[in-house]
């Protein structure tokens, strides 16, 4: 690597790094960014707004919260007739229609194939808000945030579970619509460089690539969380999830390394097996889950899609928090066809063995999962919908 001063127009300054000129970017900033990796340094230099950092690994006991509310901002469908079952110590609410006499409906909740969750937590006098995933389209995400009364200016951290359209598709439009409204330097957590690789369906259909330059240009702090970390003081980001069980989850997409027109992932940070110049089966190395420790109750695990396996995600949450008791399992479990009924049943029985107080399935949980889980754990299974809110209290 070579770092040297360069000649820049009057009134500006810059440096050369690996033969590229960075304008308006100081030597100290380049040296600091160089430790994060060349691609991250380049993008940060060109945008001149956001920052890139490695999330600080958890040290000491995991934080506890006295109250946690998880609201489903984007999910597959809206169900105004869905019941809110009573589960001891857990409050469930369904968003009611906002219809008024003589006024035609306009703003309304929107369902789509995708997932976004808003987590509100309280510990003592401290309140924190975390937005996890962004659904498939910005139109649905922004409308639902509006209808649910969620102000983006109150967000303390943003998390992206993995690089699939149905979880990041709404991100770009959200950042455009909230430009100048988000907190300066707002941390944006991802599970590592692999998150930014180009992806396609296994059948060849395009499944997108994340706009990293826009994330940084929006003034966010891009937090690379390969290892367990704390978000907004309350949430536990799992870090990359090791495969420690016998699960064989679906590998529904392929990924490709490389940077094209500023988009993609750095091949130098990916294993040789992925650097073929073509698409290879996606191992979801970058996928992360989010969890909270509710005082006196245990872990609430938010597994957005479970491409690494739902039990692997739970075990990583236990390991990263140091808490064994599972209070609730929330999110998508990817127990969908062509996985067999026997495979889904085994997953349900492994979850049941953990004795969770409730399981809230959403998005890609799978109907076979709900059929089996309701029979095995009656009164503890909830099927989420857009606007559903679940509150856990100490």
CATH value at residue 96? 3.60.15.10
Whether 388 is covered by a domain: the verdict is yes
Q: Band the pLDDT of 50: cuts 50, 70, 90.
A: low
Whether 1 is covered by a domain: the verdict is no
Whether 6 is covered by a domain: the verdict is no
Q: Encode pLDDT of 348-376 as tens digits.
A: 999 999 999 999 999 999 999 999 999 99
Whether 11 is covered by a domain: the verdict is no
Q: Encode pLDDT of 54-95 as tens digits.
A: 887 887 789 999 999 999 999 999 988 777 677 878 999 988
Residue 161 · residue 362 · CB < 8 Å: no
Do the bridges between strand 326-331 and strand 298-303 make them parallel or antiparallel, or are there none, so unpaired? Answer: parallel
What is the model's pTM?
0.87
Whether 142 is covered by a domain: the verdict is yes
Whether 22 is covered by a domain: the verdict is no
Give the chain's domain count.
1
Whether 350 is covered by a domain: the verdict is yes
Q: At what angle do helices 367-376 and 341-352 cross, to 10 degrees?
A: 40
Q: What is the mean pLDDT of the chain?
A: 87
Query: Residue 104's pLDDT is what?
Result: 75
Do the bridges between strand 358-361 and strand 326-331 make them parallel or antiparallel, or are there none, so unpaired? Answer: parallel
Whether 14 is covered by a domain: the verdict is no
Mention every residue, 6+ apart, whose C-beta is less than 8 A from residue 58.
228, 229, 230, 236, 320
d(CA 2, CA 71): 48
d(CA 208, CA 287): 16
Residue 137 has pLDDT above 50, yes or no: yes
Integer distance in angstroms from the first to the last C-alpha of the chain? Answer: 53
Tell me the residue range of the domain where 219 lies. 35-393
Mention every residue, 6+ apart, whose C-beta is less than 8 A from residue 26.
13, 15
Q: Band the pLDDT of 176: cuts 50, 70, 90.
A: very high
Residue 102 has pLDDT above 50, yes or no: yes
Residue length of the chain: 394
């Amino acid at each position: 690597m070579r770092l040297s001063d360069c000649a820049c127009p009057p009134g500006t300054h810059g440096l050369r790094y690996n033969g590229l000129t960075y304008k308006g970017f100081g030597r100290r900033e380049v040296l600091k960014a160089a430790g994060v990796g060349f691609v991250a340094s380049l993008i940060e230099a060109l945008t001149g707004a956001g920052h890139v950092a490695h999330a600080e690994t958890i040290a000491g006991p995991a934080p506890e919260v006295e109250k946690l509310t998880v609201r489903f901002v984007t999910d597959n469908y809206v169900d105004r007739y869905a019941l809110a079952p009573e589960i001891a110590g857990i409050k469930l609410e369904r968003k009611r229609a906002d219809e008024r006499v003589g006024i035609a409906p306009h703003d309304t909740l929107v369902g789509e194939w995708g997932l976004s969750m808003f987590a509100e937590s309280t510990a003592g006098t401290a309140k924190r808000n975390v937005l996890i995933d962004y659904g498939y389209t910005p139109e649905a995400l922004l409308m639902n945030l509006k209808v649910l009364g969620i102000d983006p200016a109150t967000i303390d951290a943003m998390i992206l579970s993995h690089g699939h359209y149905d979880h990041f598709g709404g991100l770009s439009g959200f950042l455009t619509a909230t430009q100048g409204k988000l907190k300066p330097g707002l941390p944006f957590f991802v599970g590592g460089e692999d998150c930014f690789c180009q992806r396609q369906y296994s059948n060849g259909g395009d499944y997108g690539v994340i706009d990293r330059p826009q994330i940084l240009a929006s003034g966010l702090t891009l937090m690379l969380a390969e290892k367990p970390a704390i978000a907004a003081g309350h949430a536990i980001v799992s870090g990359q999830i090791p495969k420690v069980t016998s699960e064989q989850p679906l590998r529904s997409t392929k990924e490709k390394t490389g940077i094209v027109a500023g988009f993609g992932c750095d091949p130098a940070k990916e294993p040789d097996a992925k650097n073929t110049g073509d698409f290879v089966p996606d191992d979801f190395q970058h996928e992360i889950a989010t969890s909270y420790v509710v005082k006196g109750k245990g872990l609430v695990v938010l597994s957005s899609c479970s491409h690494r396996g739902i039990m692997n995600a739970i075990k990583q949450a236990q390991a990263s928090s140091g808490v064994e008791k599972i209070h609730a399992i929330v999110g998508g479990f990817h127990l969908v066809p062509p996985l067999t009924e026997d495979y889904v049943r085994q997953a349900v029985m492994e979850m049941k063995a953990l004795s969770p107080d409730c399981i809230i399935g959403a998005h890609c949980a799978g109907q076979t999962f709900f059929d089996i889980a309701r029979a095995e754990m009656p009164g503890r299974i909830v099927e989420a919908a857009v606007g559903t809110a679940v509150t856990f209290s100490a």
